[in-house]
């Protein structure tokens, strides 16, 4: 059974890679911009009986979110690299196929 040919436009893949990188940068910038609004002082819980627990819980949560956003940005950057490698591989394959086609045509025409 023949395997169907898979085609991809290297230029479109490069645009996709650029979008992935831009998304990573936008995610990082948005998270950094939100940091000031997420900061709590030890007195922000007032004199509630479990105010310290509330503050610690908030700090733990924002710390975990920081790790999660960092990992997501890293995944997007890694995807950017992988998509660029695929685009480059398709570009090279297209160039090799074109060179082979030209060689075959020239051989048939008796031009060397």
- What are the pLDDT digits (tens) for 56-96? 999 999 999 999 999 999 999 999 999 999 999 999 999 99
Would residue 71 count as lying in a domain? yes
| Number of other residues whose CB lies within 10 A of the CB of residue 56 | 14
Would residue 98 count as lying in a domain? yes
Would residue 43 count as lying in a domain? no
User: pLDDT for 24-38, tens place per residue?
Assistant: 999 999 999 999 999
Would residue 4 count as lying in a domain? no
| Number of other residues whose CB lies within 10 A of the CB of residue 104 | 10
Would residue 44 count as lying in a domain? no
Q: pLDDT class for 99, splitting at 50, 70, 90?
A: very high
Q: Which whole-number Å values give the CA distances from 25 to 7, 70, 86, in the listed order? A: 29, 11, 22
58 secondary structure, DSSP code: H
Number of domains in the chain: 1
Would residue 105 count as lying in a domain? yes
Would residue 58 count as lying in a domain? yes
Would residue 45 count as lying in a domain? no
Q: What does pTM read for this prediction?
A: 0.78
Range of the domain at 84: 10-36+50-109
């Amino acid at each position: 059974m023949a395997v169907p040919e898979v085609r991809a436009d290297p230029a479109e893949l490069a645009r996709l890679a650029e979008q992935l990188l831009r998304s990573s940068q936008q995610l990082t910038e948005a998270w950094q911009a939100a940091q000031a609004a997420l900061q709590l002082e030890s007195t922000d819980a007032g004199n509630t009986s479990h105010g310290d627990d509330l503050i610690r819980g908030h700090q733990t949560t924002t710390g975990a979110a920081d790790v999660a956003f960092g990992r997501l940005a890293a995944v997007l950057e890694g995807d950017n690299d992988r998509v660029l490698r695929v685009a480059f591989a398709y570009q090279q394959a297209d160039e090799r196929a074109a060179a082979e086609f030209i060689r075959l045509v020239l051989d048939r025409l008796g031009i060397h």
